[in-house]
Amino acid sequence: MHFAIETQNLCRIYKIRGGKKTEPKELLALEDVNLQIRHGELFGLLGPNGAGKTTLIKILTTLLAPTSGSAIVAGFDVVKNPEKVRPRINMVSGGESSGYGLLTVRENLWMFSQFYGIPSNIANQRIKQLLDIVGLSDRINSKSSDLSTGLRQKMNVVRGFLTDPDVLFLDEPTLGLDVGASREIRHFIRKWIDDDQTRTLLLTTHYMVEADELCDRVAIINQGRVLACDTPATLKHRLQGEAIYRMEVSPLNGTNLQDFESIAGVHKVTHRAQDGFSILELILAQDDVISSVVNTMTAGNIHILNLQKREPTLEDVFVDLVGKSIEEMESDADIEST
């Protein structure tokens, strides 16, 4: 069976140069990534910042050479035949305001369509349709430098879909967009895939809801390794035998998370401090373990404000696999970098 995207033992190591006298450090960004993405599939890569998602997209879009392994996109090897891959793909990166500020929205989009050899009349028609869909048609003749970051991003999204590629790569497409705009874009992405089964879309995100809502299959990636790959339902089913609780409690006064983790039957605990209270997410072996958790809280003089049992989410799957939530990992990374 031919796949729209197929990678075999894909590795990427970055060499980070220090000073003149120090040896370059090596950073393993991808390690033995094996993925097979079918035609017509909306495939999600889910992971925290720095997990290797963007590196993988860069390799698949011919921007970056892998250190080892191979990758086939739209039937062609990205290293051996990049010029054959390029007419068949496109990419959109979120959270950036790219584009030629001196050109209007229409000129920017028209120019990119021409690089792909789309006849001008068809390109203009598509530009109008797509701008309508993302709610940008009233700014078609505005210089792109006059657009806000969010509107520029919408223009960028249109640029990606404009060429109607066989394989489209969306790298955090809703990053920096407001809730309404994100919803519109997500709706459009799903429709674009459903309208034509020959299209394939690889989406990276660190928004669990986005992956859950949109993707046919999801690969969870962390520190360059794919930890799990399946449909969102199947991934969540892994936790079906476990009990998942969300608790809002008074601030944890000196009570260490390890006090909870050491309770028999507690698999994972994550903690988020909020303004005046704390949120605990607990993955328990079974429901009756919650009584031991409550007892520990009472002993620690922690007040329970809210207790809720809920269905597993992709976030829980991530926590189960990695041991921390994406939010915790990113906040740890922020602390390390400062």
Partner 1 sequence: MRATSLKPFVRSFHLAAWLGWQIESNWADPFLFAIYSIIKPVSAAAILVVMYSVITHGNFAAPIFSYIYLGNAFYIFVGQVMTGISWAVIDDREHYKTMKYLYIAPVHFPTYLLGRGVARFIIAAFSVLITILFGVLFLKVQIDLTEVNWLLFFVSLMIGVIMLAMMGLILAGVLMLLVHHEFGIGDAIAGALYLFSGAVFPLEVLPTSLRWIGFVNPITYWLELLRRSLVGQVAQAFPTLSTLSNMQILIILITLSITFTIISGYCFRWCENLARERGLIDVVTNY
- Is residue 87 at the binding interface for partner 1, with CB under 8 A as the rule? yes
Among 254, 255, 242, smallest CA distance to 282 is for 242
Looking at the Cβ atoms of 159 and 236, the one nearer to partner 1 is 159
Looking at the Cβ atoms of 192 and 277, the one nearer to partner 1 is 192
Q: How many residues belong to the site for partner 1 (CB under 8 A)?
A: 33
User: Which part of the chain contacts partner 1 (CB under 8 A), choosing from 89-97, 261-269, 296-304, 313-321?
Assistant: 89-97
Which SS3 state, helix, strand or coil, does residue 82 take? helix
CB of 62 to partner 1, least distance (A): 6
Which SS3 state, helix, strand or coil, does residue 25 take? strand
The 3 state secondary structure assigned to 139-192 is HCCCEHHHCCHHHHHHHHHHHHHHCCCCEEEEECCCCCCCHHHHHHHHHHHHHH
222 DSSP 8-state letter? E
Among 1, 19, 83, 241, binds partner 1 (CB under 8 A): 83
Read off φ and ψ for residue 124, nearest 5 degrees.
Answer: -60, -40
Site string for partner 1, 108-127 (x = CB under 8 A): ---xx-xxxxx---------
Who contacts 138 (Cβ-Cβ below 8 Å, separation ≥6)? none
Distance of CA 175 to the CA centre of its chain: 9
Residue 220 β-bridge partners: 46, 228
User: Which part of the chain contacts partner 1 (CB under 8 A), choosing from 107-115, 209-217, 266-274, 311-319?
Assistant: 107-115
Among 9, 26, 49, 63, binds partner 1 (CB under 8 A): 63
- Is residue 93 at the binding interface for partner 1, with CB under 8 A as the rule? yes
Task: Looking at residues 150 to 189 of the shown chain, list those that interact with partner 1 (rule: CB under 8 A).
Answer: 159, 163
Residues that bind partner 1 (CB under 8 A): 14-15, 58, 61-65, 83, 86-87, 89-91, 93, 96-103, 107, 111-112, 114-118, 159, 163
